[in-house]
């Protein structure tokens, strides 16, 4: 906006942690009003409508306007003759909105009062400008160092093959031709109880037409599944996607799928990060959303019509 000697720019974005706004104002402004409609029902609809007013004086202060956003974090600074104001509203928790990856539409109403009491609107007054949260694409860049090594060649790893003790074979798996085999659609788990630990490596050598899925679970999870806690999968969604799923939130998209024949898949947790390896090479990394949580079970998850054949399972607890 450039009216009445006032220039105002507003930018916004989001990720899984928060909704972010940044605005820059210059000229004879006194109060800048921000109204946000997170439900798409209009600024006077009630639930999901938030607002605040940025007040310009000797210092920048924040006032209430509509429902005050709970959990808002903000900061303001001067840049020459400009005022820069930045804020964030958390996803879930204290925040009034929630989303997963994207899909939520946010309406924005912006207007400003100058030192003479005149009011200017950035868009049409009381008509929100709606923007849809887009799902993230691609993957988080992997750290240059710290990737786990392939557990298949580790001498300190525990190894399990069909007939070994220590691995709990759930309903849906059977031993056939030297492999644990699963041919059903419902989830079926090969579970390995372990001492509670933050760091771990879980490795499997297997064949499947789709859905090579590994998981690690915290003690409070009573019924482990592919939707809980720490999950890494190769060839999911009909052998079209390879991702991490951390506490229900999918992260990353690797350009990898399953091809005929045996593959190795490894899920590792190191230094507040979670790694997924395919055939000994890292394909995905993500920051750990719960870096102090301990896990007490590791699992290979079959089902989904993937026709999984597991030849060997390896694990290591506590890192190398």
The reply to whether 145 falls in a domain is no
The reply to whether 166 and 97 lie within a common domain is no
pLDDT at site 93: 77
- Confidence class of residue 15 from pLDDT cuts 50, 70 and 90? confident
Same domain, 168 and 288: yes
Q: Which of 2, 107, 10, 133 is nearest to 51 (CA)?
A: 107
Domain boundary residue, one of 132, 159, 174: 132
Residues 213, 304 share a domain? yes
Which of these three, 132, 162, 182, is where a domain ends? 132
- Average pLDDT over the chain reads 91
Per-residue confidence band for 189, with pLDDT thresholds at 50, 70 and 90: very high
What are the DSSP calls for the chain, one per residue? -EETTEEEEEEEEE-SSEEEEEEEEESSEEEEEEEEESSSS-TTS-TTEEEEEEEESSSEEEEE-SBPPTT-EEEEEEETTEEEEEEEEEBSTTSSB--BSB--EEEEEEEEEETTS-EEESSSTT--EEEEPPPP-S-PPPPSS-PPPPGGG-TTSEEE-TT-SS-EE-TTEEEETTEEEE--SS-EEEEEEEEEES-EEEEEEEE-SS-EEEEEE-TT-SS--TTSSEEEEEEHHHHTEEEEEETTEEE---S----SS-EEEEEEEETTEEEEEETTEEEEEEE-SSTT--EEEEEEEE-TT--EEEEEEEEEES--
Asked whether residue 13 is assigned to any structural domain, the reply reads: yes
Q: In this structure, are 117 and 247 located in the same domain? A: no
CA distances from 6 to 30, 59, 116 (A): 10, 18, 12
pLDDT at site 111: 93
Last residue of a domain, one of 132, 167, 192: 132
pLDDT in tens, 262-312: 999 999 998 889 999 999 999 999 999 899 999 999 999 999 999 999 999
- Write the CATH number for 83: 2.60.40.1190
Asked if 56 contacts 6 with a C-beta cutoff of 8 angstroms, the reply is no
Q: Give the pLDDT confidence of 69-92 residue by residue, as tens digits.
A: 788 999 999 998 899 999 999 887
Pairing of strands 158-160, 273-278: unpaired
Same domain, 156 and 124: no
Choice among 187-196, 243-252, 294-303 with the minimum mean pLDDT: 243-252
> Is residue 140 situated within a structural domain?
no
Count up the domains in the chain and report the number. Answer: 2
Q: In percent, how much of the chain has pLDDT > 70? A: 98
Residue 142 falls inside a structural domain: no
User: Over 90: is that where the pLDDT of 207 sits?
Assistant: yes
171 shares a domain with 269:
yes
pLDDT number for residue 61: 93
| 113 and 214 fall within a common domain | no
Using 50, 70 and 90 to split pLDDT, how confident is the model at 319? low
Whether residue 39 has pLDDT greater than 90: no
Q: Which residues of 162-174 are buried (b: 16+ CB within 10 A; e: fewer)?
A: beeeebeebebbe
Of 320, 264, 316, the residue nearest 295 (C-alpha): 316
Query: Which region among 4-13, 34-43, 52-61, 70-79 has the lowest average model confidence (pLDDT)?
Result: 34-43
Task: Read off the pLDDT band of 171 (50, 70, 90).
Answer: very high
Region 121-126 average pLDDT: 81
Same domain, 126 and 167: no
pLDDT, tens only, 112-121: 999 999 999 9
Residue 137 covered by a domain: no
Q: Are residues 294 and 213 in the same domain?
A: yes
126 and 274 together in one domain: no
Between β-strands 49-56 and 60-64, what pairing exists: parallel, antiparallel or unpaired? antiparallel
Same domain, 167 and 313: yes
CATH number at residue 289: 2.60.120.200
Identify whether 306 is part of a domain. Answer: yes
Q: Is residue 220 in a domain? A: yes
Residue 276 lies in a domain: yes
Q: pTM score, two decimals?
A: 0.65
Domain that holds residue 304: 151-317
| Domain co-membership, 309 together with 162 | yes
Confidence of residue 137 (pLDDT cuts 50, 70, 90): low
Tokens of 171: 């309903």
């Amino acid at each position: 906006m450039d009216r009445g000697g006032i220039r105002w720019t507003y930018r916004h974005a989001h990720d899984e942690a928060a909704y972010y706004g940044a605005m820059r104002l210059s000229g004879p402004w006194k109060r800048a009003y921000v109204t946000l409609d997170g439900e798409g029902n209009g600024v006077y609809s009630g639930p999901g409508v938030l607002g605040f007013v940025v007040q310009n004086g000797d210092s920048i202060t924040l006032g209430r306007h509509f429902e005050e956003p709970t959990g808002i974090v903000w900061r303001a600074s001067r840049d020459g003759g400009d005022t820069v104001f930045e804020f964030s509203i958390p996803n879930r928790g204290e925040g009034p909105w929630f989303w997963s990856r994207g899909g939520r539409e946010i309406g924005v109403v912006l207007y400003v009062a100058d030192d003479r009491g005149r009011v200017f609107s950035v868009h049409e007054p009381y008509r929100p400008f709606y923007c849809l949260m887009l799902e993230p694409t691609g993957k988080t860049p992997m750290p240059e160092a710290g990737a786990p090594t392939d557990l298949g060649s580790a001498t300190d790893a525990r190894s399990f093959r069909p007939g070994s003790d220590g691995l709990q074979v759930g309903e849906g798996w059977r031993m056939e031709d030297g492999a644990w085999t699963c041919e059903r659609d419902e989830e079926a788990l090969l579970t390995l109880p372990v001492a509670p630990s933050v760091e771990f490596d879980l490795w499997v050598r297997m064949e499947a037409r789709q859905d090579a899925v590994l998981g690690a679970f915290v003690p409070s999870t009573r019924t482990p599944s592919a939707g809980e806690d720490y999950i890494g999968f190769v060839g999911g969604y009909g052998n079209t996607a390879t991702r991490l799923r951390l506490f229900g939130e999918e992260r990353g998209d690797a350009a990898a799928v399953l091809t005929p024949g045996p593959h190795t898949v490894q899920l590792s947790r190191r230094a507040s990060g979670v790694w997924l390896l395919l055939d000994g090479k890292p394909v995905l990394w993500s920051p750990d959303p719960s870096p102090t949580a301990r896990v007490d079970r590791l699992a290979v998850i079959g089902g989904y019509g993937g026709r999984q054949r597991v030849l060997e399972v390896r694990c290591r607890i506590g890192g190398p």
